[in-house]
Amino acid sequence: MPVESHQKLKNYASESGMTMNEVYDSMLLWFLGEKKNNANFHYLASPKGTSKYITMWIDDNIIAMVKKLSKQDSMSINRIIFTAITYFLQEKE
């Protein structure tokens, strides 16, 4: 995840009184809901050189839904999560 995106999510968590786990879950649920409502998101790849690896704790049921979308859209789980992060942050700005 790009360092800037991670910082924005941390700021959002702080401002919303949420844990990072809650932010990740709500971000993915928002993205999955938008996809279900036929939102036309262009899947994005995380840029090289500006990203760092982070640990994300995500609810098992939400991961199952992401895996289902991954198969349905023939996209990697990482790409789905990065796309969700990017569009979620745009929505919250």
Can you tell me the mean pLDDT for 53-74?
Answer: 94
Indicate the pTM of the whole model: 0.88
Selection from 3, 89, 91 nearest residue 46 by Cα: 3
Q: Return the higher-pLDDT residue of 5 and 19.
A: 19
- Position 24 scores a pLDDT of 96
Instruction: Check if the beta carbon of residue 27 is closer than 8 Å to that of residue 85.
Output: yes
Instruction: Check if the beta carbon of residue 50 is closer than 8 Å to that of residue 8.
Output: no
